[in-house]
Amino acid sequence: MQFCVTKSGLEILDTCRAYGLAELVRALTRGRISPTICDLGGSFLIRTATDIDARALPQSDEWRAVFAENAWQQVFLTYKKQWPQQRDKVRKSIEQCYREILARAATGLGVDFGGPRTLPGALDPSAFKGLKGLTGGNYAEGATLVDEASWALACLGGAVAQRYKLQRAAAKKWAYFVTVPVPSEVRFSDFRSIRNLVYGKGLSYNGVLNAAAHFSLLLAVSVREKAQGNPMFPVRFSRVAYFSLFQSGQQYKPSMGGVVDVERLTRVALARPEAAAEMFTTWDYLFRRGSTQGGEDLAEAITELITAPSFETYYQHARIFLRYIVDRNKGVKHENLYTKRALEEVINYVQ
C-alpha cells in the first residue's frame, strides 16, 4: 500500500506529518509491518509491502506505547502544565478519524491552513505567533492554524522524531535545541533503532548549529553501524532541520533555525565505512573536547567543517586542531588524531 503526504512548504511540519503517518501505519499493523518513508520532492511517500488492517488501532499496544514517549511534553511546551490534555486530544483525534486520514493519504494528504487547530510553536518555529497585543502600528499576527488531521499527525510525528536537547543558557535561563532528521529513504523500523542510538546522546553545546552538527555526525555514525558494510543499505537522510527555543520571561520563543545537509556524510558512511569510522571517531572527539570550557574554538571549527564543508572551513579546522596537538598543555591523546586514511577521507570530503 502507498500513502502520500503532500508538502506544504513548512519543512519541519511536513517532515513531522510524514513520521506521524508512518507511526500510525506501524501501530495499525501492531509493529509487524514497517513502512518506508521516501522523499519524492513535492511529497513524502509512505509505503508498505502488504495491505494493512485499518480496524485494529485502539487495541494496539504499539499505539498505546507511542503516547508514553517523553517528547510529548516538549511538543506542547508552550502549553506548560496543559500538555497532557493536548497529547490526549491528539490521541482522540487520530482514533476518531484514522480511517479518513488513510483514505485521504491514499491520494495525497495536504494541509488546510486556516483549520480549527493551532500548530504548537515548539513543533515548528514557523508556528509561533508574532505579537500578542496591538501595538502603536496596529500590528498583530495570529497563530498558524491547520486542519485537525495535519495537526494530529504532525504532533504525533514531532513526539516520535524530534530530539529536544535542554541546555542551560545565559542568565540562569534554559534553552531547547530541537533537531529532526529529514528522511530521503528510510525504513521506519531502522529510523526507530537509529533514534535509540542517537537521541539519548548529547553534550553541552555552544549553540544550536553546534548541536545540529553533532546530531548529524551521530546520525551518520549510527547509519554506518546499522549498514554493516552494505553500501546499498536503505537508510538515507537528506537534511537535519534544527531550531532553538529560548526562555523569554515565562514563555519559550524561537531563536534561530536552519537545515544541515547530511547527504554527503551518509554517503561517506555507506560507501567507505572503515575510513568513515576513523574520521567520525576524531570528529566526535573534537565535539566532546569542544564542549569543555576553553575548547570552544575546536567546536566552532568542526561545526563549520560539517555544516559547510569547503577548503576554507577545513583549513580553519586544521589550524586550530594543530595548535591543540602541538601544545603539550592541551594534551590531545595519540588515539584522537586522524589516521592517514581518515585524513585523506576528510580532504576528499571538503573537495
Q: Looking at beta carbons only, is 197 or 350 nearer to other proteins? A: 350
Hey, what's the cell of 307? 555544516
Q: Does 264 bind other proteins (CB under 8 A)?
A: no
The single residue listed with the C-alpha cell 529536544 is 164
Closest C-alpha to 98, from 29, 15, 33, 7:
29
Residue 325 in the binding site for other proteins (CB under 8 A) = yes
**Among 98-106, 229-237, 256-264, 331-339, which window interacts with other proteins (CB under 8 A)?**
331-339
Residue 271 touching other proteins (CB under 8 A): no
293 or 329: CB nearest other proteins: 329
Contact between 246 and 253 under an 8 Å Cβ cutoff? The reply is yes
Question: Residue for cell digits 485494529?
Answer: 56
338 binds other proteins (CB under 8 A): yes
Nearest CB to other proteins, comparing residues 250 and 351 = 351
78 three-state secondary structure: helix
Question: How far apart, in Å, do the first and last CA atoms of the chain sit?
Answer: 42
Is residue 333 at the binding interface for other proteins, with CB under 8 A as the rule?
no
Q: How far apart are CA 130 and CA 132, in angstroms?
A: 7
DSSP calls for 59-82: G-HHHHHHTT-TTHHHHTGGGGGG
Residue 47: helix, strand or coil by DSSP?
strand
Q: Hunting for cell 553545546 — which residue is that?
A: 205
CA distance 326 to 55: 66
Which residues, numbered 85-124, are part of the site for other proteins (CB under 8 A)? none
Q: Coil, strand, or helix at residue 145?
A: strand
Q: Would the CA dihedral through 53, 54, 56, 62 be positive or negative? A: positive
Stretch that binds other proteins, among 23-31, 97-105, 142-150, 312-320 (CB under 8 A): 312-320
User: Total number of residues binding other proteins (CB under 8 A)?
Assistant: 20
Binder among 244, 321, 329, 331 for other proteins (CB under 8 A): 321
| Closest distance to other proteins from the beta carbon of 306 (Å) | 16
Based on the shown chain and the rule CB under 8 A, indicate whether residue 6 belongs to the binding site for other proteins. Answer: no
Binding window for other proteins (CB under 8 A); candidates: 34-42, 142-150, 227-235, 338-346: 338-346
Q: Which amino acid is at 217?
A: L
Stretch binding other proteins (CB under 8 A), from 44-52, 99-107, 148-156, 314-322: 314-322
Of 311, 313, 330, 331, the residue at the interface with other proteins (CB under 8 A) is 311
Interacting residues toward other proteins by CB under 8 A: 311, 314-315, 318-319, 321-322, 325-326, 334, 337-340, 343-344, 347-348, 350-351
